[in-house]
Amino acid sequence: MKKWKLRLAVGLMLLLPVALISTTTSAQAASKAATTAKAKPKKQYLIIMGHGAGDPGARGNGTNEATFLRKNLLPQLKKYSKEVKNSQITFYNPKHNIVKDTLVHHKGSYKINKHTTVIMFHLDAPNGKGGHVIIHKKHPTKRDKRLAKVIKKYVGLNRAYRGGYSFRTNLRNCNVLRKRGIDYSLVEMGFITNKSNYKHLKKNMAKIAKADIEAITNEKIK
């Protein structure tokens, strides 16, 4: 080995640890910064309008469940969902039907992250009045209780269900989530067939949507 080559080799060997140390340090700093930024991840929610994609759901008062929810409720929920700070709310494609997507195409709830909480909105039929919450576990969660309060305030609770809750394990639209261990609440907003329920829903849609977003996230909107 020529003398200058030897010097170069020795010089590089001496520099190598320095380079390694500085790389490690900057990598550690970067990962620490990332951890700090991720310290408070937003709680994830997915909101689904019931039925759709050719399934109208229940009919009443000149409309049907799928259309009423998408036309009246969805835009208001979207509006207020932007005003919460600690929650990330996304909406299931309103052109789709999650039950069909899941059972027929093996998509739908297969694509939902297990840490996401799902909130489904529906309207009841044919005979009765008032709304209720179909719950995931045997006993209502705090979120279920807040959602029932909103129903009680604007439409009234369905007396057929004690406290406004119903625990069911025989509903397809819940079981597509239940089978994947995904947390959910299903809100039956009231009867689409009942004139008074329908009138109250239409009249208070913005207030209901705002209160529902607050109930879901447990955050206050100004």
The contact set with Zn ion (CB under 5 A) reads 50, 57, 122
Q: Whose Cβ is closer to Zn ion: residue 49's or residue 205's?
A: 49
Nearest to 123 by CA among 175, 70, 44, 178: 70
Q: Whose Cβ is closer to Zn ion: residue 122's or residue 146's?
A: 122
Q: Whose Cβ is closer to Zn ion: residue 50's or residue 131's?
A: 50
Q: Whose Cβ is closer to Zn ion: residue 144's or residue 188's?
A: 188
Q: Whose Cβ is closer to Zn ion: residue 79's or residue 172's?
A: 172
Residue 54: CB minimum distance to Zn ion, A? 14
The Cα–Cα gap between 188 and 180 comes to 22
Residue 188: CB minimum distance to Zn ion, A? 8
Residue 211: CB minimum distance to Zn ion, A? 21
Nearest to 163 by CA among 177, 174, 148: 148
Helix (H) or strand (E) holding 4: helix 3-37
The Cα–Cα gap between 187 and 123 comes to 8
* Strand-strand pairing, 183-191 and 132-135: antiparallel
Nearest to 201 by CA among 66, 48, 52, 68: 68
Residue 199: CB minimum distance to Zn ion, A? 20
In sequence order, what are the residues at sequence separation of 6 or more whose Cβ sits closer than 8 angstroms to the Cβ of residue 145?
Answer: none
Residue 122: CB minimum distance to Zn ion, A? 3
The Cα–Cα gap between 129 and 151 comes to 11
Residue 43: CB minimum distance to Zn ion, A? 26
Q: Whose Cβ is closer to Zn ion: residue 122's or residue 136's?
A: 122
Instruction: Count the neighbouring beta carbons within 10 Å of the beta carbon of residue 172.
Output: 10
